[in-house]
Structure 1
Amino acid sequence: MRPTPTLLALCLAATPLLASAADFDNWPTKVAFSDGTELAATANIAYDLNDFSGGSGIDDADAVRRKEFGATLKKKGVYDAMVYYDFQADTWLDVYVRLESKALFGRDIGKFRFGYMKTPVGLDAVTSSRAGSFMEFALPVQAIYEGRRTGVDWVLERPRYLLQAGAYGGKDLQGDNPGTTQAVRAVWTPVKADGDVLHLGLALSQENPRGYRDGRDVHRAASARLRARPEAGLTDLRLVDSGALAPADKIVRSGVEAVWIKGPFSLQGEALQATVSREGRPDFTGAGQYAMASWVLTGESRGYSGGAVANVKPAHDYGAVELVARYSRLDLDDADVLGGRQHDWSIGANWYLTSHFKFQANYVKADASRRGVRSQPEIFELRAQMHF
């Protein structure tokens, strides 16, 4: 593995912060006005190194993985709005306005959001990109998560449950993925307190993709595609790939999710499935699961709010240290499609220096088979991340 000046500089820059990490958390990133309105800047910058071995033939790489910048405007109990863009991927992230029903109707019947937002099937994906215990999504989440769409959703959260419903239409903000989607998610939290959580959830969506004419007036049929990187973000190689599934009439996605947090220990898992209905051809179903475990050596707990996990908040001047392990699998062989099968074992360590600086190391051992060809790459990954 070759060290890089940029990654080393980011790591070394953290060293002087150890003595005053507790004082370094209070960043002046927002301003409050007399009427209670608050304007804040937000960002997430991550620099990664990926080292591939095991005869993979994949080139090693180091690069900025995320360069996300945005702003939020909110008035507590009334509304909040966000504009967020990833300049590294040249992609819009969240762009929405969310209204509190109590301010509109005098009683709390949930929150209504309008704009460009995440669809709800895939717990790992609806978790903030800055808060992942692993550097990359598990295999089934990569393949089955729909992504962001333009539309409206409603969320009602109570101490013991969370309900969500959304309807989305048209193209996304990149001008891709024309069609409509309807989605629901239900979460039961019989235990929900700081450091003590039991989360059980179900999610379901139906997407009806639509064909379109491109800039050369060529008709493109509605299609779907399920694929995944080997849990490394700096390669475009997919060891398993369904290829284009066209013409696609309907995509039904479903997920079962669970989170258990007890002090410094945590378990999380999902089972995800997507069924693509194709005109004149048999339905195709891709499915996968993952399970992960976390142990925060320094005694803190993983955060949890709004039906999703959050970063560990350090309680010590030297930060917090977390050890993680994950197993994931994905099966894209079904009907007349030989997309392949893959399973990955991953271990990792996270150092939360402050609430704004996070360092991650992951080791991934992948095993994929597709059309009689087997690939077994091993990947070592490092990340330096700053966020606020």
Structure 2
Amino acid sequence: MRLFVGSWLMATACLALAFPGHALAQAPTATFGVPSAAETTPTASNGLFPPSLVSPTSPASQDSERRRIPLFAFWDNGLRFESKDDQFHLHLGGTIQLDSTWPIGPASVFALPNGGANGVGNSSATFLRRARLRTDGDLFGLFDFIIEYDFANASNENSGDDPASFGNLTSSPSPANVWMQIRDVPLFGHVRIGNQKKPIGMLNNTSHANLPFLERPDSSDAIYAPFDGGFALGVSAQNWIESERMAWRIGIYRPATNVFTVALNKYAFGARLTGLPWHADNGQSLVHLGLGLWGGEIVQDALRLRARPLIRNGPGFAVPVILDTGQFPGSRQLTLAPEFALVRGPLTIQAEWAGQLVTDTVSNGQAQGTTFFHGGHVEALWFLTGEQMQYEKRDGVFGRVVPRNDYNLRGRDSFSSLGAWQVGARFSYLDLNDKAIQGGRVHDWTFGLNWFLTANMKFQFNYILEHRDGPTGMPVGWFSGFGVRANTTF
């Protein structure tokens, strides 16, 4: 409720700025750091300080009305507000993702490795995969900010008494991108402070709304984003060369063990470098190369790596865990992740690999030294309707797909369109076995069809086929599944 009220107040303030003549704007309010009318009303001295200190009457306060800058509203793939002098920009938006999934396979393959009875197993399901609200913008051309929360999240408030189940969970909005940024700092570039994506992995840094398949590959789930959604609290610096064909981000972070970003005691280092050795025809042909690095201390000196199926059938606590190392002691970890992407008109090929070293590993009281876990994927995508993936140079990721023609069967102006259609296939694998740590292996295929009605609305259809060589004591076998997602982003 507090988040809802806060969002409503923010929207009301924006409307007051956008329509200064409206009743909403008549009450004295402070506007982007400008004192309100009530604050600038002269008052008499209080006997202790001269009036100039009690109620300053600087030229700035006298010109407060002039400095109240109105914003105008418009729609550009989302609700946006701008000032006429281009000094202020505000966007109010969000994402809704509704999934329906049908896992196919024996219940034993979907059993939780720890033998827990609270998972959904191979049940079919319909649920909100994500429900995010977002506010972002920039001020004076110098500062950027994002506030983004996911409301499709749940937590167990009685974890000390009962394991998580559908009966004892409460809705717990969790932070996603929540950061502020200062632009053009000498020597550093753009300095970002707050909860942000780790600078490793092309798909890890791709917006959830722009993913070509329902889920990121196994290596992302286990290595890039173990229980933290791929986010970390920290300070980073981002910059690029003048042509924007090379960009980088580097930062220092305090890693956490969950999406609620409680980071204690430990530190981590992250860096990502991306480049375009080939860029032609205004981006219709390009090659992307990237390298990410993530390393540092392990929170609480214990690590757990796990992976879930490539279609989910419930909230996080209930989704089957198909690979799991269990929690094991370790002191430090280092992850290296090379990236590759090729765009040639409607064709896109993208690949990543991740390898993780964990030092001072212990299993069942026996020292294992340094252990190594790894995974990767390669995928190919093709637009049947001739569009191409839009590459964002500064971030080194693919952005929003904009159909050449929006979906329209009403025959307006004697024109009809089915929007944009894309097919894709992906192979991925993950190996969590090394020495006495036996988390299992999985190899899988994903086949997808994406239908983009507009830049804001799409449907995704995925079929998965996975082979699991499970953790010690768990079944080995094949399973498959089908999933559908309705996605709207504004």
The bucket for the TM-score relative to the shorter chain is: 0.7 to 0.9
Aligned partners of 2:78, 2:361: CA distance in 1, in Å?
Answer: 55
1:197 partner amino acid: L
After superposition, what is the alpha-carbon deviation per residue over 1:333-373, rounded to whole angstroms, capped at 9, x for unaligned? 10111110101111000011101101000000011012362
After superposition, what is the alpha-carbon deviation per residue over 1:80-134, rounded to whole angstroms, capped at 9, x for unaligned? 1000000102321011111211xx55xx852111111011122111100000000
Aligned partners of 1:175, 1:99: CA distance in 2, in Å?
Answer: 22
The DSSP-based 3-state class of the residue aligned with 1:123 is: coil
After superposition, what is the alpha-carbon deviation per residue over 1:199-226, rounded to whole angstroms, capped at 9, x for unaligned? 1111111120243xxxxxxxxxx21111
Aligned partners of 1:326, 1:170: CA distance in 2, in Å?
Answer: 30
1:28-67 alignment to 2 at 5 Å?
A: 29-35=79-85, 36-56=87-107, 58-67=122-131
Alignment of 1:314 with 2:365, yes or no, is no
1:52 partner amino acid: P
Contact 1:122–1:145 (CA<8 Å) still a contact in 2?
yes
Sort the Cα spacing of 1:270 and 1:27 in 2 relative to 1 into closer, same or farther, 3 A.
closer
After superposition, what is the alpha-carbon deviation per residue over 1:265-303, rounded to whole angstroms, capped at 9, x for unaligned? 000000111122236622222101100000011101011
Aligned partners of 1:187, 1:28: CA distance in 2, in Å?
Answer: 28
* Correspondent of 2:250 among 162, 165, 173: 165
2:137 partner amino acid: L
Sort the Cα spacing of 1:186 and 1:27 in 2 relative to 1 into closer, same or farther, 3 A.
closer
User: Identical aligned pairs, as a percentage?
Assistant: 28
2:430 partner amino acid: L
Contact 2:97–2:485 (CA<8 Å) still a contact in 1?
yes
* Correspondent of 2:454 among 344, 349, 354: 354
1:98 partner amino acid: Q
Structure-2 residue corresponding to 1:174: 260
* Correspondent of 1:242 among 325, 335, 347: 325
Aligned partners of 2:250, 2:284: CA distance in 1, in Å?
Answer: 28
Contact 2:78–2:92 (CA<8 Å) still a contact in 1?
no
Sort the Cα spacing of 1:378 and 1:384 in 2 relative to 1 into closer, same or farther, 3 A.
same
Contact 2:78–2:91 (CA<8 Å) still a contact in 1?
no
The DSSP-based 3-state class of the residue aligned with 2:221 is: helix
Contact 1:83–1:96 (CA<8 Å) still a contact in 2?
yes
The DSSP-based 3-state class of the residue aligned with 1:133 is: coil
1:319-338 alignment to 2 at 5 Å?
A: 319-338=419-438
1:180 partner amino acid: Y
Contact 1:264–1:296 (CA<8 Å) still a contact in 2?
yes
After superposition, what is the alpha-carbon deviation per residue over 1:61-91, rounded to whole angstroms, capped at 9, x for unaligned? 1111100101012147422100000010232
TM-score after normalising by structure 2: 0.68
Q: Higher strand fraction: Structure 1 or Structure 2?
A: 1
* Correspondent of 1:190 among 277, 280, 284: 277
The DSSP-based 3-state class of the residue aligned with 1:386 is: strand
Alignment of 1:80 with 2:144, yes or no, is yes
The DSSP-based 3-state class of the residue aligned with 1:124 is: coil
Structure-1 residue corresponding to 2:201: 122
1:1-388 alignment to 2 at 5 Å?
A: 26=76, 29-35=79-85, 36-56=87-107, 58-75=122-139, 77-89=141-153, 90-101=173-184, 104-105=185-186, 110-146=189-225, 147-158=230-241, 159-169=244-254, 171=256, 174-176=260-262, 178=264, 179-192=266-279, 193-211=282-300, 222-235=301-314, 236-246=319-329, 248-278=330-360, 281-282=367-368, 283-305=370-392, 306-318=395-407, 319-370=419-470, 371=472, 373-388=475-490
Contact 1:150–1:170 (CA<8 Å) still a contact in 2?
yes
Aligned partners of 2:276, 2:439: CA distance in 1, in Å?
Answer: 36
Q: Which has the higher contact order (CA 8 A, sep 6+)?
A: 1
Contact 2:305–2:326 (CA<8 Å) still a contact in 1?
yes
The DSSP-based 3-state class of the residue aligned with 1:140 is: helix
Structure-1 residue corresponding to 2:156: none
Cα offset, 1:245, TM superposition: 1.8
What is the number of residues matched between the two proteins?
Answer: 350
Contact 1:132–1:311 (CA<8 Å) still a contact in 2?
no
TM-score after normalising by structure 1: 0.85
RMSD of aligned residue pairs (Cα, Å) = 2.0
Cα offset, 1:184, TM superposition: 1.3
Aligned partners of 1:264, 1:185: CA distance in 2, in Å?
Answer: 27
Contact 1:300–1:314 (CA<8 Å) still a contact in 2?
yes
Sort the Cα spacing of 1:180 and 1:321 in 2 relative to 1 into closer, same or farther, 3 A.
same
Aligned partners of 2:456, 2:96: CA distance in 1, in Å?
Answer: 10
Aligned partners of 2:291, 2:340: CA distance in 1, in Å?
Answer: 9
Give unpaired runs (5+ residues) of structure 1.
1-24, 212-221
Aligned partners of 2:255, 2:152: CA distance in 1, in Å?
Answer: 25
Aligned partners of 2:428, 2:454: CA distance in 1, in Å?
Answer: 29
> Greater CA radius of gyration, 1 or 2?
2
The range that moved more, 30-39 or 80-89, is 30-39
Aligned partners of 1:241, 1:187: CA distance in 2, in Å?
Answer: 31
